[in-house]
Amino acid sequence: MFISFEGTEGVGKTTLIRTLYEYFQQQGKDVILTREPGGTPLAEQIRGLLLSVNHDEQMSSDTELLLMYAARAQHLEQVILPALAQGKIVLCDRFTDSSFAYQCAGRGLSREKLALLNENFVVKMPDVTFWLDAPIETGMSRARERGALDRFEQEKVSFFEKVRSGFVEIQQRESQRMKRLDATQAPEKVFADALTYLK
Ligand code: Z5A
């Protein structure tokens, strides 16, 4: 089973994934935990480029999109597909829905560009996607407590509102695959809701 986790920043994806990972391990399941952008040494280097604020020039939205998919191609081939072929549960922090929400809804890139990349480079979609939804300010204040902000975290509330509207749209379109979780609840309750759904 391939499960992805989506949402705007600081909504608790990483927290939920870690708890589910431990739960599956305790159940004796073969499970891996991975993330995007990243998940392989090369893809993690691309992540570094994407999140860095130390560029002398502004990264174009097209470059951002293509780097996301360069990292994704590597991640799919090296990690996700082999793990699924071995019957493992794959827990992935963000996947293609983030590209729709951030690069299309957020940055304003065309859906055609994204569709082209998905059709050609994404051979496997998640079986289940958990969308952790909380007001933008809630997630931002949680994330900001950590300190230094990356290139995405420096964006304004208005950008994240557009990103959130992207997730709303996907959930309406693909309600079978994408399950909304109320991320304003305590972490234990978010975990319990996810588990109930999976069971
Ligand atoms: N990106 C993109 O643009 N296009 C793409 O295709 C992909 C990604 C794949 C990096 O992602 C950036 O890449 C991302 C979008 C872009 N940028 N943004 N924004 P990331 O996933 O690494 O970055 P992130 O979304 O900023 O992750 P995050 O800040 O680590 O958030 P999180 O994983 O959702 O939250 P968390 O670390 O689990 O929790 C944050 C804090 O809140 C932490 O102190 C927790 O203890 C606390 N927390 C967690 N859950 C709760 C609850 N339920 N209540 C109270 N407090 C909580």
What is the span of the domain harbouring residue 22? Answer: 2-198
pLDDT category at 128 given cuts 50, 70, 90 is very high
Distance 172 CA to ligand 1 centre (A): 22
Please count the structural domains in the chain: 1
Say whether pLDDT at 28 is over 90: yes
Say whether pLDDT at 24 is over 90: yes
Nearest CA to ligand 1 atom 28: 10
pLDDT category at 104 given cuts 50, 70, 90 is very high
What is the atom index within ligand 1 of the atom nearest the CA of 183?
53
pLDDT category at 7 given cuts 50, 70, 90 is very high
Distance 114 CA to ligand 1 centre (A): 22
The CATH number of the domain holding residue 167 is: 3.40.50.300
Q: Amino acid identity, residue 152?
A: F
Digit-coded pLDDT (tens) for 48-95: 999 999 999 999 999 999 999 999 999 999 999 999 999 999 999 999
Pocket test for ligand 1, best of 4, 8, 13 (most atoms within 8 A of CB): 13
Backbone angles phi, psi at 83, to 5 degrees: -65, -45
| Apex 71 CA angle, 69 and 76, nearest 5 | 90
pLDDT at 160: 97
Q: Would you list which residues are annotated within the binding site?
A: 7-14
Q: State pTM to two decimals.
A: 0.97
